[in-house]
Amino acid sequence: MNPETAKSVERNVGALESVPATIALIDGRVKIGLEPHELERLAECKNKPVELSRIDIGAAIALNRDDGTTCSDLCSARWH
């Protein structure tokens, strides 16, 4: 994950009068809306964060991982 890209996307969302809410796991806990230091943490993570899909989330939580989520899985989950 490129932290500058993530910050840019959040700025663009904010400019459209929406609330940016990057979603990730930090220490195995679901976080909706990351602090700048958490974005940096994902970018520098030593456990090689991955883009989680629905099938991976349970294991990542159990292992206390830092990982990102995929938009496609989060959006499609809404319809199931």
Q: Provide the domain limits for residue 69.
A: 3-75
* Domain count across the chain: 1
Residue 27, domain member (yes or no) = yes
Nearest one of 66, 31, 28, 80 to 20, comparing CA atoms: 31
User: What would the pLDDT profile of 23-49 be if each residue is shown by its tens digit?
Assistant: 889 999 999 888 888 888 887 766 666
Residue 80, domain member (yes or no) = no
The pLDDT score that the predictor gives to residue 23 is 85
Q: Give CA–CA dist 54/73, Å, rounded.
A: 6
Q: Which residue has the higher pLDDT, 44 or 70?
A: 44
Residue 21, domain member (yes or no) = yes
Q: Give CA–CA dist 60/80, Å, rounded.
A: 22
Mean pLDDT for 50-61 is 83
Residue 56, domain member (yes or no) = yes
Mean pLDDT for 7-32 is 88
Residue 44, domain member (yes or no) = yes
